[in-house]
Amino acid sequence: MSTRLYLYPVAIRVWHMVNALMFLLLIVTGLSLQYSSKDLEIVGFNLAITLHNIGGITLTASYLIFIIGGIVSGNMKHYKIKYKGFWNRLYKQGRFYIYGIFKHEDTPFPTSENMKFNPLQQFSYVLALFIGLPIVILTGWAYLFPEIVILKIFNLSGLLVNDLVHITIGFILSIFMFIHIYLCTIGPSVKNTFKSMITGWHE
């Protein structure tokens, strides 16, 4: 018998949709700016700058709403890692993804209203949302206002360091997104989890 849980209220679904669309826009325009040349332009240079700025500003606004909304609504509790037995839980979930799942074992951490994420989901979301995203957002804003960037860091240009951090973390977050989408295909059916993020109901 399958259980239905209402895990993703409208506000989370809207935030997630905006977040995912802005990520895609930022990846395409970011790559276009990174590899711009006269011979090959994915998006025209000036248009890529405008769209990248719009994407970054929208992502920042939706991030702030997600954090404040999460604190007020209680959604943040799902992102609180319990350190006791943490590595063991992570191992159990990792083992399930690379072995147990193919042996049709039961999931070690079934979804519930109190625990909507398994340990690996929780860990990767915390890294992406509370470490990666703030760094990309802050270094992005530093580009918009270069006069606030420290001029020299260890004898290197502050703008260069800002640039390297922005593109490296942006790249890691892009990889996170692809792994995240792949892991969302694991479930009763390939479409199941994606449907949950549209209807709000987890099966």
β pairing state of 201-202 and 156-157: unpaired
Q: Are 60 and 138 in contact (CB under 8 A)?
A: no
> Is there binding between residue 171 and ligand HEM (CB under 6 A)?
no
Give the single-character DSSP code of 13: H
The upper half-sphere exposure of residue 5, i.e. CA atoms within 13 Å in the direction of its Cβ, equals: 13
Task: State the minimum distance, in angstroms, from the CB of residue 66 to ligand HEM.
Answer: 8
Closest by CA to 56, choosing from 13, 23, 33, is 23
Name the residue nearer to ligand HEM (CB basis): 109 or 194: 194
User: Segment near ligand HEM (CB under 6 A), from 83-91, 94-102, 149-157, 174-182?
Assistant: 174-182
- Which residues 6+ apart lie within 8 Å of 43 measured at CB? 28, 29, 32, 51
> Is there binding between residue 181 and ligand HEM (CB under 6 A)?
yes
Q: Which contacts qualify for 121-125: CB closer than 8 Å, 24 or more apart?
A: 121/183, 122/78, 122/79, 122/81, 123/81, 123/90, 124/176, 124/179, 124/180, 125/79
> Is there binding between residue 96 and ligand HEM (CB under 6 A)?
no
Task: State the minimum distance, in angstroms, from the CB of residue 67 to ligand HEM.
Answer: 11
Tokens of 35: 């590899």
- Dihedral, CA of residue 123, residue 70, residue 188 and residue 81, to nearest 10: 30
> Is there binding between residue 11 and ligand HEM (CB under 6 A)?
no
> Is there binding between residue 194 and ligand HEM (CB under 6 A)?
yes
Single out the residue of 31, 65, 172, 177 in contact with ligand HEM (rule: CB under 6 A). Answer: 177
* Total interface residues for ligand HEM by CB under 6 A: 24
Give the single-character DSSP code of 152: E
> Is there binding between residue 19 and ligand HEM (CB under 6 A)?
yes
Q: What share of the chain is helix, strand, coil (3-state, %, to 5)?
A: 70, 5, 25
Name the residue nearer to ligand HEM (CB basis): 158 or 187: 187
Of residues 98-137, which lie at the interface with ligand HEM (CB under 6 A)? 116, 121, 125, 128-129, 133
> Is there binding between residue 180 and ligand HEM (CB under 6 A)?
yes
What x-and-dash track marks residues 70-89 binding ligand HEM by CB under 6 A? -----x--x-----------
Q: Which residues of the shown chain bind ligand HEM in the complex (CB under 6 A)?
A: 8, 12, 16, 19-20, 23-24, 75, 78, 116, 121, 125, 128-129, 133, 173, 177, 180-181, 184, 193-194, 196-197
